[in-house]
Amino acid sequence: MTVWDQVVGQPEAVGILTSSAAVAASMVDGTFTGSASAVPHAWLFTGPPGSGRSVAARAFAAALECGTGVGCGECPGCRTSMAGTHADVHVVVPEGLSISVAEMRALVQISARRPTGARWQVVIITDADRLTEGAANALLKAVEEPPERTVFLLCAPSDHPDDVPVTIRSRCRHLGLRTPSAPAIAEVLRTRDGIADDMARWAASVCGGHVGRARRLATDEAARSRRESVLRIPLSLRRLPDVFTCADDLVRSAEADAVEVSGARDEAEKDALKTAMGHGGTGKGTASATRGSAAAIKELERRQKSRATRTQRDAIDLALVDLASFYRDVLVVTSAAAAALNHPDREPDARQAAGLWAPESTLRRLEAVLACREALELNVKPRIAIEAMLITLHHG
């Protein structure tokens, strides 16, 4: 398998990237006779959630570091790039709600170095829309005047490309990705992950074109249970007390998801930091080193809290996307449109809801879900935003 086999349902994008990687390889090998601008020094990958923006960026980075220049998937350059261990491929994955200026300045300093492998220095920023103003300004100078062998790969969702400052966007080559088709997702689940055919087809049909979520639904029973509990909400809001019960369930499920993702990691990070700062030691100077570690531990706890908040919000947002998709399915059934349902396994519920609600009522419910997503982006407390949404879902 080549590195491009990881990029699902994006033949046009893969063609562009493979051509650019081949040109880059000829530049390194000294056989290229064209202009150095033939390989853009900065790229902006956009696409809907789950389209594989960061996967495409990693595959392109691997092809740039590949000894053959095609992304063979077998050479050390390809394997280490895809595994995240290549010395010249640096990946920024924001764990909190934003990417800080300090983190970006450190990355810019790294990007100015010559590549250790004599090929390319590659910087991947997986959520460039989370750059703070200061971080964007720190990155801008490097993108304006990049080192000769440095390539920046920025990834941002297609529904918020404006969150990446125009000064940076204008200096990048834009590459738009599309939502992968369900058959393409099912095929990669079968061939790459060894998932049974029936489960692969089901997960691909209900994931909304999100490859990562399809894999999680196919392999994680808890993820399937959480999805089921969310999709039961629309028809279970029979009484006003049900609003608060469902709100509690949504918030607690998101909190549990955050604990599951970061709980063990938080403790390991804290223990490692304490050990590095001399906790538990008995030698000379240990006491003063321990006293001086309080600020470092406090900063670590702050970052961990920010990471947990982001994980919780991502879990809630995923539930809201499922709800919005359900109400969209109800409108599809009501109008007898030929469009495919986002939740084909919940078609009986969609038809039942279509018989109970007028189209205007369904649309108000859909708008309430979208308004809740916007409220969460504006840092409204999750419980308040969710309860306000569910009251509208109850009344219609």
pLDDT at 264: 60
More confident residue, 331 or 145: 331
Strand partners, 173: 43
Place of tokens 């562009």: 16
CATH class of the 240-278+297-395 domain in this structure? mainly alpha
Q: Identify the band that residue 25 occupies on the pLDDT scale cut at 50, 70 and 90.
A: confident
Please give the structure tokens belonging to residue 235: 């028809």
Q: Identify the band that residue 127 occupies on the pLDDT scale cut at 50, 70 and 90.
A: confident
Mean pLDDT of the chain: 85
pLDDT in tens, 360-396: 999 999 999 999 999 998 889 999 999 999 999 998 8
Mean pLDDT of 239-258: 86
pLDDT in tens, 281-301: 555 555 555 555 677 777 777
Q: Identify the band that residue 31 occupies on the pLDDT scale cut at 50, 70 and 90.
A: low
- Cβ-in-10-Å burial (0-12, 13-18, 19+) of 360 comes to exposed
Mean pLDDT of 120-144: 88
pLDDT at 306: 75
Mean pLDDT of 185-192: 89
Mean pLDDT of 328-336: 94
More confident residue, 4 or 117: 4
CA 45 from centre of chain: 12
Domain ranges of the chain: 3-176, 181-219, 240-278+297-395
pLDDT at 30: 62
Of 97-106, 111-120, 269-278, the range with the lowest mean pLDDT is: 269-278
Do the domains 240-278+297-395 and 3-176 match in fold? Answer: no
Strand partners, 92: 125
More confident residue, 312 or 262: 312
For residue 51, pLDDT over 80 is answered with yes
pLDDT at 44: 93
For residue 34, pLDDT over 70 is answered with no
Q: Identify the band that residue 96 occupies on the pLDDT scale cut at 50, 70 and 90.
A: low
Closest CA to 44 of 60, 26, 68: 60
Q: Which are the contacts of 122, defined by CB distance < 8 A and separation ≥ 6?
A: 61, 64, 65, 81, 88, 89, 90, 150, 151, 153
Report the percent of the chain where pLDDT is more than 90. Answer: 37
Q: 3-state SS string over the chain?
A: CCHHHHCCCCHHHHHHHHHHHHHHHHHHHCCCCCCHHHCCCEEEEEECCCCCHHHHHHHHHHHHHCCCCCCCCCCHHHHHHHHCCCCCEEEECCCCCCECHHHHHHHHHHHCCCCCCCCCEEEEECCHHHECHHHHHHHHHHHHCCCCCEEEEEEEECCCHHHCCHHHHCCCEEEECCCCCHHHHHHHHHHHHCCCHHHHHHHHHHCCCCHHHHHHHHHCHHHHHHHHHHHCHHHHCCCHHHHHHHHHHHHHHHHHHHHHHHHHHHHHHHHHHHHHCCCCCCCCCHHHHHHCCHHHHHHHHHHHHHHHHHHHHHHHHHHHHHHHHHHHHHHHHHHCCCCCCCCHHHHHHHHHHHHHCCHHHHHHHHHHHHHHHHHHHCCCCHHHHHHHHHHHHHHC
> Residues 6-40, buried b or exposed e (16+ Cβ, 10 A)?
bbbbbeebbeebbebbbebbbbbeeebeeeeeebb
What is the pTM for the complete model shown? 0.77
Mean pLDDT of 78-82: 90
Spatial separation of the C-alpha atoms in residues 142 and 105, rounded to whole Å? 10
Q: Identify the band that residue 73 occupies on the pLDDT scale cut at 50, 70 and 90.
A: confident
CATH number belonging to the domain at 3-176, selected among 3.40.50.1970, 3.80.30.10, 3.40.50.300, 1.10.10.10 = 3.40.50.300
